[in-house]
Chain A
Amino acid sequence: MNPEMAIYAGQSLAIPLTLVLAGLTALFIPIITRRDDSTPGLVILTSSLILLTFFPSSGTAFISMFSGALTLSPFTNYLWPFFLAALAFTALISLHARDGKPGSGEYYFLLSMAALGLIFMVSAGELLTIFIAVELLSVCLYALAAINRSPTGAEAGYKYFLLGSFGTGMLVMGFALVYGTTGTLNLDAIKLALAPGLPFHPLTSAGFIFLIAGFSFKVALVPFHMWVPDVYEGSPTPVSAFMGAAVKAGGIVVLYRLFAITAGAPQFREIFWALAVITMVLGNLMALPQHNLKRLLAYSSVSHAGYIVTGFFGGSEGLKAALFYLVVYAAATIGAFAVVAALEKDERGVMVKDLAGLSGRHPYLAAAMTLFILSLAGIPPLAGFFGKFYVFTAALRGGCTWLVVIALLMSAVSAYYYLRVLVAMYMEHEPAALEAAPSRAMGLALSLLALIVTALGIFSGPLLRLAQSAAIF
């Protein structure tokens, strides 16, 4: 490793270390000062912003550290800032939602450790690193789901924990089988050990099926999505936003690596094909009858995972499109959950009919929600449209015509439940009970996210070029 690369590796390692320090600071400040105020949130917010500002980028270098356990690549250059930005936005929304609630030190500590897990997950070069990163992420999220100590929070945390540990069991079995039949934990070496063209050893296939099932739990692909609506509904809304945007992205990245490793065997292509189709069809159909806004967004996030998996079939073009999609989808999802957080008052949550007449009482809130919903629905000229456009074009070039036809049909279906939200906000005028008082932090987050969703639609070039340079794997 030449000196320049060594400096870059050191600078990059400073990012997770700073995150740990920031998390610990956030944890201990309320204990020392004996006050529950917004200081821990501000600590996490400023440190993630500082890390984003001074993010070291090395262009196209591939660096392998700790005997291959961690790798730095253009891929991590793209995803680390994405996770840091997701953390910053979640912290910003949480400042509003957690005002005056006890335990904010633990909350922000767990949030930054979850982001740390994501950062390690996407830069893992070994199965062991992936396992530890996934568990760091999951354990933090179980606790975050139940952090309000309310009955619904406990139920959400319990359901997430139970299905998550079932998923973990499958993951460890998968790791064991893949290791046992290939003789290595290193991802690149595993790919080399699986000779292209030859059928896999049955135990190897079983191992990969366990791994795909385990990560489908984390990403919430149908039929492994049962926990999603309940957990998203019962968790604190900023946590749901973080799960929907950042956690999903981390899982998708690991699924893509599994897809790339198993690409030599046609039956695995078929498994991913089937997962994408069921996820898009059922995710969208189950979203139709939802009345609770958080449940609706949860099912919408399930179906978006299906669209992203569609992009896997487009080769490196598809990966580029999927990376672009992850960012535009995350911006719209965090935004939509932020609007829910601004509106919700109690445990009951926000129903779609509660939005009636929102455009009259809170025109800016309604306008921001419109942008996020239209972007999720994929209406031009917003970013969501271009995300879908690039993903579907790439899959089409990869020869998956039927997959794209189904995806387009299901996008049309999704317009129905997205538009229901808009109809409630703009066309129904009943004196609804919900009164919002968005704080300044919430206003800032909403305007920034609305700006991102619009700007990435009109000027998608720069982000697309970044995704292009990251999509060499």
Chain B
Amino acid sequence: MPFEHLLVLSFVLFTLAAAGFLTHKNIIVLLMFAELMLNAANIALVAFSKFSGALEPQVFVLMVFAVAAAEAGVGLAIVILLARSLKTLNIDTVKNLRG
């Protein structure tokens, strides 16, 4: 598969994920779109690794996996905390704090 195709896939996925993040209302779906953005960027890194033959981007991807897992762990804990106090998963109900 040519390198350009991978890059285009990555950009399309990134745009879709960002668009989904900005339009969806479910607290957990938003979390999934944020993870999808990271994975789109991962595809770009792997594409560049394929292009140049260097291994640094692949190491970077592994680090992103590790970090994304840690982030998702803390994120889900916070979501559970929030869902308990809200009794719903709609983002529009998250509005106690405002000026």
Contacts and interface: CB of A to CB of B under 8 A. Distances in A.
Interface of A: 127-128, 131-132, 135, 138-139, 142-143, 146, 149, 151-159, 161-162, 165-166, 168-170, 172-173, 175-177, 179-180, 183, 185, 229-230, 233-234, 289-292, 295
Contacts of A159: 94, 97
Contacts of A165: 31, 34-35, 37-38, 71, 75
A128 B60 CA distance: 7
Nearest to A289: B99
Nearest to A287: B99
Contact of A183 (B47, B54, B63, B74): B54
B55 to A, nearest CB: 11
Nearest to B57: A179
Given A142-B78, A146-B81, A169-B18, A132 B99 contact: no
B41 A173 contact: yes
Interface string B34-63: 110110111011011001101011011001
Given A165-B34, A166-B34, A180 B97 contact: no
Lowest 8 CB-CB distances: which A-B pairs, in order? A169-B37, A180-B48, A165-B34, A172-B41, A151-B85, A176-B44, A154-B81, A230-B97
B44 A169 contact: no
B96 A152 contact: yes
Interface in B1-56: 10, 14, 17-18, 21, 27, 30-31, 34-35, 37-38, 40-42, 44-45, 47-48, 51-52, 54, 56
Contacts of A185: 56, 60
Contact of A168 (B60, B71, B85, B96): B71
What secondary structure prevails in chain A residues at the interface with B?
A: helix
Nearest to A229: B99
Contact of A179 (B18, B56, B75, B79): B56
B34 A162 contact: yes
Contacts of A170: 37
A173 B41 CA distance: 5
Interface string B56-99: 11011001100100110011011101101110000000101111
A139 B71 contact: yes
A340 to B, nearest CB: 15
Contacts of B42: 172, 176
A149 B71 CA distance: 18
Contacts of B40: 169, 173
A176 B56 CA distance: 11
A51 to B, nearest CB: 26
A166 B63 contact: no
Nearest to A233: B97
Nearest to B42: A172
Nearest to A203: B7
27 contacts: A127-B60, A135-B70, A143-B77, A143-B78, A151-B82, A154-B84, A155-B82, A155-B97, A156-B97, A157-B78, A161-B74, A161-B78, A165-B31, A165-B37, A165-B38, A168-B38, A169-B14, A170-B37, A172-B42, A172-B45, A173-B14, A173-B41, A175-B60, A176-B48, A180-B45, A230-B97, A233-B97
